[in-house]
A and B are shown apart, each in its own frame.
Chain A
């Protein structure tokens, strides 16, 4: 694929990482690759327990009712020595709606658990295309309802419960927050939307810029949305809970934290979502990290930009949770 549109350059430190990692990933994920990519990934939780043990974090798996009452699983994570009631973080993992498990991004969760003494509930929502919209977002919402209902038992202060997610999980977090508002669900103290996947319409400048380049490019993004929405992708028949960028009323939503890179597909929809929140009178903090590709904080955690991104995010969470 040739570059036809100018785009912001990658940060040099991140580009160096991309140079080394690019031969380990397909440039663009097509629908045929979905089964292969899932096969290549370890089974849910494999490897997670070592990291949990090393961090002094305990894990409790609970089967809960998901969308339509089907059984889904959540893991409750907290510091081993934790007592009393404190902040809670409900987490929706990333993976383009088609991949990943509830331990994707565990490194970031462990930081929150240790730094804020938070209880994390991470949800194993069902994946597209086998379980298309509304399964993923409705499973996520069901997990949030369960978390809020069991707050006392989990040691979570219901006043200090936030939702957080990255990438597809960021979109699901935003969609879950919209459902909670509209259906009188649990009150959220905040929403942490980490480079969220919000818009199925594929019409932004940033999606045109990140085509055949970077991480999670335009083609991969179309694959993810098509798996979730099928033929409905890009039509009028898409709910705001599946694609929160389509929401026209963002009033009454919890304060939001949004971050992304300037060299990723999601840049423009993420910036637009922050602007729409401000327009609706909702407090929001937005960071666009220059030259960042999608997920650079996880792929290149040693870089100065990744450290700055995580520090800014953690600072917002600390202020929001009052820790």
Chain B
């Protein structure tokens, strides 16, 4: 009964309610709503106007859910239209989406949930557009989908204005990353095609890069491929992303650096969780794993001890105990390979990139 629960109002300006924000947009996305409904959600939850520039369209919605004029009114008295410059992303807290950006028209200090609302709004817009409008997102989705035939991928290339005779690589990012921030190139450069795709490991953002372009971590970089073979690049990028050492690490794992190791972990993934070498690592705590990482990587036990801030004789004792626990010496030639492979497989079994 409505009088028991009142009505949906803006979230607490001071308390973080991330779960509510995530839940709200998740339901909208699952229901396949359009851009307007997403903006209404952002506006009602934040209690202030929300806007989006997508392609060439500007849309703004007030906290009551009503559409507002495309241009932001000046903060003065009457409805002085300030012109397109008022939707400048620099004026409000904003975030990029494929083909544009979104913002919240927050006057004064930000509220506790503003960042989360903008993040989820941007993510939801990319997802919904990828599904609906046959634009960048949907074309890119086709391009990196191995189940689509070559003719479809060629059409997608044309739509994305990618050169079919060139080679590209796909980067996989946690879905919530801001593409503009991840790209190291100058702000004047055209933004590469990007979309969010649903994978068995959660939502992942895919970005098509030139073969020599860089990207800031956390990211997985796929192998370089001909333009019509980018599904393979995305597959390796996704693997690389899942091989990132720890959630939140600002590293880039480059599939090209892994070579045959990538092929090995990919082939072994279906049985990884049952491998005794993986099972034994899974039982260890984070600190013990860090000790093993250092032992396997360092030139000497003494160097590993220094890196870990331990006395070398203490580490030596630890090394002996761990060798016995693992059933092999992670510092022997064979043991290092064995440890590295088990370690990577463990990351795959544990990886669930945060949306």
- A residues with a Cβ closer than 8 A to B are 11-13, 15-17, 19-21, 24-25, 29, 37, 40-41, 94-96, 99-100, 104-105, 167, 215-216, 220, 294-295, 298-304, 306-307
Contacts and interface: CB of A to CB of B under 8 A. Distances in A.
Interface in B87-111: none
Looking at A29, A95, A96, A303, the one whose CB has the most chain B CB atoms below 10 A away is A303
Main secondary structure of the interface of B (DSSP, over half): helix
Contacts of A13: 28, 31, 33, 37, 40-41
Query: Top 7 A-B pairs ranked by shortest CB distance?
Result: A12-B31, A302-B65, A295-B2, A16-B27, A298-B2, A25-B5, A302-B44
Given A29-B4, A40-B4, A301-B65, 14 more contacts: A13-B33, A13-B37, A16-B28, A20-B8, A24-B5, A94-B2, A99-B4, A215-B2, A294-B1, A299-B5, A300-B8, A302-B40, A302-B43, A304-B37
Looking at A41, A96, A299, A307, the one whose CB has the most chain B CB atoms below 10 A away is A299
26 contacts: A12-B27, A12-B28, A13-B33, A16-B41, A17-B24, A19-B27, A20-B8, A20-B23, A24-B6, A29-B1, A104-B2, A215-B2, A294-B1, A295-B1, A298-B7, A299-B7, A299-B8, A301-B64, A302-B8, A302-B44, A302-B63, A302-B65, A303-B37, A303-B40, A304-B36, A307-B66
Contacts of B43: 302
Contacts of B28: 12-13, 16
A13 to B, nearest CB: 5
A105 B24 CA distance: 25
Contacts of B36: 304
A216 to B, nearest CB: 5
A304 B65 contact: yes
Nearest to A18: B27
B3 interface: yes
A299 B6 contact: yes
A104 B65 contact: no
B318 interface: no
Contacts, number: 103
Contacts of B3: 41, 94-95, 99-100, 104-105, 298
B30 interface: yes
B6 to A, nearest CB: 7
Interface in B55-72: 63-66
B73 to A, nearest CB: 20
A20 B1 contact: no
Interface of B: 1-8, 20, 23-25, 27-28, 30-33, 36-37, 40-41, 43-44, 63-66
A24 B6 CA distance: 9
A37 B4 contact: yes
Contacts of B20: 20
A17 B40 CA distance: 12
B24 A20 contact: yes
A73 B6 CA distance: 24
Contacts of B37: 12-13, 303-304
Looking at B1, B3, B8, the one whose CB has the most chain A CB atoms below 10 A away is B1
B301 to A, nearest CB: 54
Nearest to B63: A302
Contact of B8 (A11, A21, A40, A304): A21
A303 B34 CA distance: 12
A19 B24 contact: yes
Nearest to A33: B4
B2 A307 contact: no
A291 B25 CA distance: 18
A41 B4 CA distance: 7
A40 B2 CA distance: 14
A307 B3 CA distance: 19
Nearest to B23: A19
A51 B41 CA distance: 24
Contacts of B8: 17, 20-21, 299-300, 302
A11 B41 CA distance: 14
A162 B23 CA distance: 42
A300 B1 contact: no
A19 B8 CA distance: 10
A220 B4 CA distance: 12
A21 B5 contact: yes
A307 B62 CA distance: 14
A105 B31 CA distance: 29
Contacts of A306: 65
Nearest to A103: B3
Looking at B4, B25, B36, the one whose CB has the most chain A CB atoms below 10 A away is B4
A109 to B, nearest CB: 14
Nearest to A298: B2
A168 to B, nearest CB: 9
Nearest to A295: B2
B31 A11 contact: yes
B49 to A, nearest CB: 12
A301 B7 contact: yes
B4 A25 contact: yes
